[in-house]
Chain A
């Protein structure tokens, strides 16, 4: 079903400026500036940033829900922003998303099965009844759900964890290569959160590429192969997770790591250098094997 390939989702110098006020006359907000990184099937990239860092906007731009102001997002060599009708539909057949609030991701008026029905009409019209049920059962199994427990129910009758798993299985049904998981566990309780993360880990082992958007460094570290740290819409540090967390170089990363509450060690003094200071013309410099820092 999933096989790692040379396919790459590449973001190059992606920038997003929001205008407030009518006819764009009002103030402008630089949500994302000059973001460049890749996601390949078979790896998990965690995009870490505090609220307002632009991490969700990056996720929405990849999913073509918000148009970038500048820069390009290409998938398998083709620029995503130019895709229309058929092309966009094919893109969504290979790149899908799961959102933060499970209870807002389901139309309260319909049963949860509808999320499956919607994609069946668009992506698997020729699949016969029995084969469809079989594929759906297998997709549910991949996320540890029993069809009988979840199908035919309304969103409020299921737990947040079950709802998020359903959305993942919906994406699996479409044989996708890249999944954008935008803060998918922040609304879940700790005990069910870890199981959802383990599922993402298993899928990565079977060749799925995942962009794991989160504000929680511990979860980002637990799950991802590479990490991208955003501050005010700019990448401040990027590289293999083990390396970056072992010796963080950028002051902002170091400050974040010192503030995360641990269960084993007490908080030490917050690092003194001011994480807010932005260098004059910031550029990402290589400081180690595939380890970049904004200088």
Chain B
């Protein structure tokens, strides 16, 4: 089993107290699985992605454990964790467009990074060229400065670099949101190809765009206000969402072809709770049309059908 996360809790220290961005999540990702991680802004998906590789700034691990291929990851220990980074767990960051060092040629930056991790650039060079060609980039890109590349090209260089060590877990954070729709499709499909070619064992794709996840993800995990809401195979989740939040969310996404005159879609009233002191029980109950007395008690994130999980008292019905 590649990744097992158990009751992971990560808060942000701020002046006004702790923002409980990630409040106890438990799930697993098996070998070869591409898991989509979806949810609206502020639901904690980026925090989850970041905490699996590096707690930066004011993020603080409050509890929970994460193990990768059976080995427990020392998330809180910056130095010990760096041994795992790049080789076992890697990331394509949200800011991929500005992730390359502006004053270094791309080839030189890669070689310096590899040397610093004790990997010989000369031995890796052939594989690097092969992978660059795979994503449609020629060798001459290694001789260029980041400023000479387009957004899409930079994105692909970062993807190749982040997966160069064949990590067993890749976290792709908002991979496509900054790209044009034409480049978006090419980059998304590349992720699937990296999994098929065994460059990465399992992948977590973080995005707010459920439609992209439907195209490339095997399973989709939906988050809301720092908690898990529902996880299911991509097709089932989009066709037959069980949790009220997922259902309303999918209901508000217009398909190409849907017209307002024919079928008026409905959004979700209200807004997510503040995570400084989140409400007790189910955090969606204030906006949930199905809310009833029991919702004051927090619903566990349990299996409601083979391969399907949800955190709602009414989801199992």
The answer to whether A and B touch directly, with their CB atoms under 8 angstroms apart, is yes
- Chain A residues close to B by CB (< 8 Å): 50-51, 159, 161, 189-195, 197-198, 201, 215, 217-219, 221-223, 241-242, 245, 255-257, 259-264, 266-267, 270, 275
- Chain B residues close to A by CB (< 8 Å): 40-41, 180-182, 184-185, 188-189, 208-212, 214-215, 238, 248-250, 252-260, 264-268, 271
The answer to whether residues A267 and B185 also contact, given A190-B252, A190-B253, A192-B267 and a CB cut-off of 8 A, is yes
22 contacts between A and B (CB under 8 A): A190-B40, A190-B210, A190-B249, A190-B252, A193-B252, A194-B265, A194-B267, A195-B266, A197-B260, A198-B264, A201-B260, A218-B256, A221-B259, A256-B181, A259-B182, A260-B211, A261-B214, A262-B255, A263-B211, A263-B214, A263-B238, A263-B255
Q: Establish whether residues A190 and B257, one from each chain, have CB atoms under 8 Å apart when the complex forms.
A: no
Q: Which residue of chain B lies nearest to A260 when distances are taken between CB atoms in the complex?
A: B256
Majority DSSP secondary structure for residues of A touching B: helix
Q: Which residues of B contact A217 (CB under 8 A)?
A: 181, 256
Q: Establish whether residues B189 and A222, one from each chain, have CB atoms under 8 Å apart when the complex forms.
A: no
Q: What's the count of A-B pairs with C-beta under 8 Å?
A: 106
- Minimum CB–CB distance from B196 to chain A (whole Å) comes to 15
Q: Establish whether residues A221 and B256, one from each chain, have CB atoms under 8 Å apart when the complex forms.
A: yes
Q: Establish whether residues B266 and A194, one from each chain, have CB atoms under 8 Å apart when the complex forms.
A: yes
Q: Establish whether residues B215 and A191, one from each chain, have CB atoms under 8 Å apart when the complex forms.
A: no
The answer to whether residues A270 and B185 also contact, given A51-B180, A189-B208, A263-B250 and a CB cut-off of 8 A, is yes
Q: Which residues of A contact B184 (CB under 8 A)?
A: 259, 261
- Give the distance in Å from the alpha carbon of A245 to the alpha carbon of B255 in the complex: 12
Q: Establish whether residues A267 and B189, one from each chain, have CB atoms under 8 Å apart when the complex forms.
A: yes
The answer to whether residues A263 and B181 also contact, given A193-B267, A221-B258, A222-B259 and a CB cut-off of 8 A, is no
Q: Establish whether residues B260 and A190, one from each chain, have CB atoms under 8 Å apart when the complex forms.
A: no
The answer to whether residues A191 and B252 also contact, given A51-B180, A259-B184 and a CB cut-off of 8 A, is yes
- Give the distance in Å from the alpha carbon of A259 to the alpha carbon of B215 in the complex: 11
- Minimum CB–CB distance from B217 to chain A (whole Å) comes to 11
Q: Which residue of chain B lies nearest to A221 when distances are taken between CB atoms in the complex?
A: B256
- Minimum CB–CB distance from A248 to chain B (whole Å) comes to 11
- Give the distance in Å from the alpha carbon of A44 to the alpha carbon of B184 in the complex: 27
Interface centre among B182, B188, B215, B266 (most CB of A within 10 A): B182
Q: Which residues of A contact B249 (CB under 8 A)?
A: 190-191
Partner of A257, one of B188, B209, B256, B264: B256
A215-B180, A260-B211 known, 14 other contacts, Cβ within 8 Å: A189-B40, A190-B210, A190-B249, A190-B253, A191-B249, A194-B252, A194-B265, A201-B260, A217-B181, A218-B256, A221-B256, A259-B184, A261-B211, A262-B211
Q: Which residue of chain A lies nearest to B265 when distances are taken between CB atoms in the complex?
A: A194
Q: Which residues of B contact A215 (CB under 8 A)?
A: 180-181
- Give the distance in Å from the alpha carbon of A267 to the alpha carbon of B208 in the complex: 18
- Minimum CB–CB distance from A224 to chain B (whole Å) comes to 9
Q: Which residues of A contact B41 (CB under 8 A)?
A: 189
- Give the distance in Å from the alpha carbon of A257 to the alpha carbon of B185 in the complex: 11
Q: Establish whether residues B212 and A261, one from each chain, have CB atoms under 8 Å apart when the complex forms.
A: yes
- Minimum CB–CB distance from A55 to chain B (whole Å) comes to 12
- Minimum CB–CB distance from B226 to chain A (whole Å) comes to 15
- Give the distance in Å from the alpha carbon of A259 to the alpha carbon of B250 in the complex: 20
- Give the distance in Å from the alpha carbon of A242 to the alpha carbon of B262 in the complex: 12
**Which 10 interchain pairs have the tightest Cβ spacing?**
A261-B211, A191-B268, A195-B267, A50-B180, A222-B254, A189-B40, A194-B267, A259-B185, A194-B252, A159-B271
Q: Establish whether residues A266 and B215, one from each chain, have CB atoms under 8 Å apart when the complex forms.
A: yes
Q: Which residues of B contact A201 (CB under 8 A)?
A: 260, 264
- Minimum CB–CB distance from A186 to chain B (whole Å) comes to 10
Q: Which residues of A contact B180 (CB under 8 A)?
A: 50-51, 215
Q: Which residues of B contact A275 (CB under 8 A)?
A: 182
Interface centre among B189, B212, B254, B257 (most CB of A within 10 A): B254
Q: Which residue of chain A lies nearest to B259 when distances are taken between CB atoms in the complex?
A: A222
Q: Which residues of A contact B181 (CB under 8 A)?
A: 50, 215, 217, 256, 259-260
Interface centre among A241, A256, A262 (most CB of B within 10 A): A262
Q: Which residues of B contact A223 (CB under 8 A)?
A: 260
Interface centre among A191, A255, A264 (most CB of B within 10 A): A191
Q: Establish whether residues B182 and A50, one from each chain, have CB atoms under 8 Å apart when the complex forms.
A: yes
Q: Which residue of chain B lies nearest to A255 when distances are taken between CB atoms in the complex?
A: B182
